[in-house]
């Protein structure tokens, strides 16, 4: 089942004339305007250093925009108080290229971590972790440590952790960057399933095959600007239907 | 939820203490050393105040020698005048006979006592002054009294008393200064040790923050671990000090006999309280500061 994102209702993520300049002087993003409706599946593509990672870091509020406004779920990230930040992050599930698993915790503990932080009761933690591990087909590996898993399995653990608290947004930065094509494809299936359940997914990626196969919304970023925003696009704009949405 | 968070914090503090045993032990060791130094400082300070108290008791007593031809009536009158003085806590009249008996009773005077013929000693008024700094005024008062023995009016040694007073204020000042220095040094050392521990776990902290942990949720386990470290260190330091205290006093007594230092078991419970509290606070403060840089989102 594929959920059709509703472009007519109010967007859950919205960038309004966003600029980001780092203290070093690098201008990472220039005048970014972007609207993401609830339930959207969005690829951010573009060459290294184009500004994809900066955009992701703005979205999880690791960075603040230099100019412009970013709204997520009605809250302006740039003006959010520091002590509110943890509560925002709980609405978001994050997946990274390097998995970011804790090596000295078991698979179960790694996934449970996201719930412990919320102060969930033990019996809730147990059932929800079991469910999340089942979703990523890792039931039975609860007591294994990350070092004993393959890259694909580790990324699946990270995805289980990202979705165990049922976030409304999944933000992924190069989630398949360290994986072979077959494994990358498995991981993508997981993201599609999460999206089908209603979560909005924003994914920065270099993986051309996947983007071209899935034909989802593609936003190409080049030199800090949005070069293309295609509702069902490809990695490269080789079909000559370039159309920049403001 | 508070309780669950506390349980989680205690759990992860305990686990991380054992998982990073080398760093934990380094922290315990440095806090132990500092607390031993602080403990020695407290013990030495206590010993000094004990000694000073003995000296104070001694020099706050002044003996006024009464000349042989003073009528007893005058002596009583002067005794009453002194007893009524607010600065005086007690006055005791010692007759010539009593003075001689006291002199002979002192084992140091055995040889002298055999050679004494008759009674060369004066009768005297032993005056206990409440405040050490008032002894000089009482001495002046006594010297003006007509009944005093003009050749040897009192046993007051102003210089000695003044020096004692000065010494005691300097010593307490030095003790406080040393404690302050130790505190500052220890917080810095603890902070750096714990910062090393935190540095090893910065990835864990980053992940905690990314999944939405509040600052206190991240900090809690570290602060608790610091308290644990501090308490363990305090217990070790205390055990070593308690074992070393009596032999050190004995050694000191046999080396420097004239200073009346004694073993004071009652002080141990004070020391225990101070060290445990200091250990817990140092550990907590050091962790709090050490972890701050990484927790700030």
3-state SS string over chain B?
CHHHHHHHHHHHHHHHHHHCHHHHHHHHHHHHHHHHHHHHHHHHHHHHHHHHHHHHHHHCEEEEEECCCCCHHHHHHHHHHHHHCCCEEEEEEECHHHHHHHHHHCHHHHHHHHHCCCCCCCEEEEEEECCHHHHHHHHHHHHHCCCECCCCCECCCHHHHHHHHHHHHHHHHHHHHHHHHHHHHHHHHHHHHHHHHHHHCHHHHHHHHHCCCCHHHHHHHHHHHHHHHHHHHHHHHHHHHHHHHHHHHHHHHHHCCCCCCCCCCHHHHHHHHHHHHHHHHHHHHHHHHHHHHHHCC
B223-265 residue pLDDT tens: 888 899 899 999 999 999 888 888 888 887 777 766 667 778 8
User: Could you tell me if residue B272 is inside a domain?
Assistant: yes
**Model confidence at B288, in pLDDT bands (50, 70, 90)?**
confident
Average pLDDT over residues B178-182: 83
* Same structural domain, B112 and B182: no
Is the pLDDT at A242 greater than 60? The verdict is no
Q: Which pLDDT does position A6 carry in this prediction?
A: 58
Are B206 and B253 within one domain? yes
Of B130, B146, B173, which marks where a domain is finished? B130
* Chain B residues touching residue A98 (CB < 8 angstroms): none
Q: What is the pLDDT at residue B31?
A: 85
- Are B82 and B180 within one domain? no
Is residue A238 very low, low, confident or very high in pLDDT (cuts 50, 70, 90)? Answer: low
Mean pLDDT of B96-112: 81
Contact A114 B215 (CB under 8 A): no
Average pLDDT over residues A3-31: 84
**pLDDT, average across residues A94-117:** 90
Give the residue, A20 or B287, on which the prediction is more confident. Answer: A20
**Long-range contacts made by residues B81-86, C-beta under 8 angstroms, separation at least 24?**
B82/B125, B82/B127, B82/B138, B82/B141, B85/B138
| B51 and B67 both lie in a single domain | no
Residue B208 in any domain: the answer is yes
Q: Work out the minimum CA distance from B163 to partner chain A, whole angstroms.
A: 59
Same domain for B51 and B65, yes or no, is no
Mutant choice from B1, B10, B209, B210 vs A, greatest count of A C-beta within 10 A: B210
Cα distances (Å, whole numbers) of residue A94 to A57, A100, A129, A246: 11, 10, 16, 27
User: Would you place residue A4 in the very low, low, confident or very high pLDDT band (cuts 50, 70, 90)?
Assistant: low
Q: Cα dihedral angle (B109, B115, B117, B122), rounded to 10 degrees? A: -30
Q: Which residue of A has its CA nearest to B210?
A: A89
> What pLDDT is attached to residue A244?
43
Give the pLDDT of residue A239. 47
Overall average pLDDT of the A89-98 stretch: 91
Same domain, B167 and B278: yes
Residue A190 above 50 pLDDT? yes
| Residue B35, pLDDT above cutoff 80 | yes
Which of B82, B108, B130 marks a domain boundary?
Answer: B130
If asked whether residues B37 and B70 sit together in one domain, one would say no
Domain that holds residue B223: 2-56+163-295
Q: Which residues of A touch B13 (CB under 8 A)?
A: none
Highest mean pLDDT among A58-72, B151-165, B251-265: A58-72
Cα distance from A58 to chain B (closest Cα, Å)? 13
Overall domain count for chain B: 2
Q: Is residue B153 part of a domain?
A: no
% of chain B beyond a pLDDT of 90: 4
If asked whether residues B119 and B202 sit together in one domain, one would say no
Measured CB to CB, residues of chain B less than 8 Å from chain A are: 1, 4-5, 8, 19, 203-204, 206-215, 217, 297
Same domain, B187 and B227: yes
pLDDT given for residue A71 in this prediction:
94
Do residue B92 and residue B176 come from a single domain?
no
In this model, does residue B152 exceed pLDDT 50? yes
**Percent of all residues in chain A with a pLDDT value above 90, rounded to a whole number:** 61
Tell me: do B181 and B119 sit in the same domain.
Answer: no
Write out chain B residues lying below 8 Å of A161, CB-based: 211
Whether B102 maps to a domain, the answer reads yes
- Provide the pLDDT for residue B151: 82
Closest Cα to residue B150, out of B64, B210, B225?
B64
Instruction: Give me the architecture of the A39-57+87-230 domain, per CATH.
Output: 3-Layer(aba) Sandwich (3.40)
What is the arithmetic mean of pLDDT over A4-21? 81
Q: pLDDT category, A21, cuts 50, 70, 90?
A: very high
Q: Which pLDDT value is given to residue A108?
A: 95
Lowest mean pLDDT among A1-5, A175-179, B128-132: A1-5
Confidence band, pLDDT 50/70/90 cuts, at residue B112: confident
What's the mean pLDDT when you consider all of chain A?
Answer: 88
Tell me: do B180 and B291 sit in the same domain.
yes
How far B295 CA sits from the closest chain A CA (Å)? 11
Predicted pLDDT of residue B162: 74
**Coil, strand or helix: which one is A63?**
coil
Q: Is A94 on the interface with B (CB under 8 A)?
A: yes
Residue B206 belongs to some domain of the structure: yes
Question: CATH code at B94?
Answer: 3.30.70.3040
Per-residue CA distances from B99 to B96, B120, B126 (Å): 5, 10, 11
**Range of lowest pLDDT (A25-29, A170-174, B41-45):** B41-45
Residue that is last in its domain, among B114, B130, B146: B130
* B147, part of any domain: no
| CB contacts, 8 Å: A165 with chain B | 211
User: Quick check: B208 and A117 CB within 8 A?
Assistant: yes
């Amino acid at each position: 089942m594929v959920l059709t994102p509703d472009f007519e209702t109010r967007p859950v993520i919205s960038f309004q004339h966003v600029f980001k300049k780092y203290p070093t002087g690098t201008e990472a993003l220039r005048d970014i305007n972007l609207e993401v409706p609830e339930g959207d599946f969005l690829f951010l593509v573009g060459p290294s250093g184009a500004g994809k990672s900066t955009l992701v870091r703005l979205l999880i509020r690791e960075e603040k925009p230099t100019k412009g406004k970013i709204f997520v779920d009605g809250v302006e990230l740039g003006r959010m108080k520091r002590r509110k930040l943890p509560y925002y992050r709980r609405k978001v599930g994050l997946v990274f290229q390097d998995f970011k698993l804790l090596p000295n915790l078991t698979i179960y503990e790694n996934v449970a971590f996201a719930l412990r932080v919320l102060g969930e009761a033990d019996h809730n933690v147990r059932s929800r972790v079991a469910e999340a591990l089942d979703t990523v087909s890792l039931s039975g590996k609860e007591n294994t440590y990350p070092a004993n898993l393959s890259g694909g399995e580790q990324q699946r653990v990270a995805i289980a952790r990202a979705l165990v608290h049922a976030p409304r947004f999944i933000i992924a930065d190069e989630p398949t960057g360290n994986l072979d094509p077959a494994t990358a494809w498995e991981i993508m299936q997981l993201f599609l399933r999460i999206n089908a359940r209603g979560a909005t997914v924003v994914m920065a990626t270099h993986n051309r095959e996947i983007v071209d196969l899935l034909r989802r919304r593609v936003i190409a970023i080049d030199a800090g600007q949005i070069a293309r925003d295609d509702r069902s696009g490809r990695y490269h704009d080789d079909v000559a239907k370039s159309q920049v949405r403001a | 939820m508070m309780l669950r968070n506390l349980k989680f914090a205690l759990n992860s503090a305990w686990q991380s203490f054992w998982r990073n045993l080398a760093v934990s032990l380094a922290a315990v060791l440095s806090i132990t050393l500092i607390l031993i130094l602080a403990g020695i400082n407290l013990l030495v300070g206590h010993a000094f105040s004990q000694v000073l108290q003995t000296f104070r008791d001694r020099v706050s007593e002044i003996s006024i020698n009464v000349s042989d031809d003073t009528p007893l009536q005058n002596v009583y009158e002067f005794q009453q005048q002194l007893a009524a003085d607010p600065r005086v806590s007690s006055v005791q009249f010692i007759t010539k006979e009593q003075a001689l008996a006291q002199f002979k009773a002192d084992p140091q005077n055995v040889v002298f006592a055999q050679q004494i013929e008759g009674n060369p000693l004066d009768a005297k008024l032993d005056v206990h002054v409440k405040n050490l700094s008032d002894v000089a005024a009482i001495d002046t008062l006594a010297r003006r009294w007509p009944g005093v023995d003009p050749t040897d009016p009192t046993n007051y040694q102003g210089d000695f008393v003044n020096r004692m007073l000065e010494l005691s204020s300097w010593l307490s000042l030095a003790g406080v200064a040393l404690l302050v220095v130790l505190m500052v040094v220890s917080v810095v050392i603890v902070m750096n040790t714990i910062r090393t521990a935190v540095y090893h776990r910065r990835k864990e902290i980053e992940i905690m923050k990314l999944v939405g942990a509040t600052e206190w949720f991240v900090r809690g386990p570290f602060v608790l671990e610091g308290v644990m470290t501090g308490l363990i260190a305090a217990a070790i330091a205390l055990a070593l000090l308690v074992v070393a205290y009596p032999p050190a006093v004995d050694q000191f007594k046999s080396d420097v006999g004239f200073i009346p230092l004694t073993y004071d078991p009652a002080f141990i419970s004070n020391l225990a309280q101070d060290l445990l509290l200091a250990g817990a606070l140092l550990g907590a403060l050091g962790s709090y500061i050490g972890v701050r840089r990484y927790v700030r989102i």
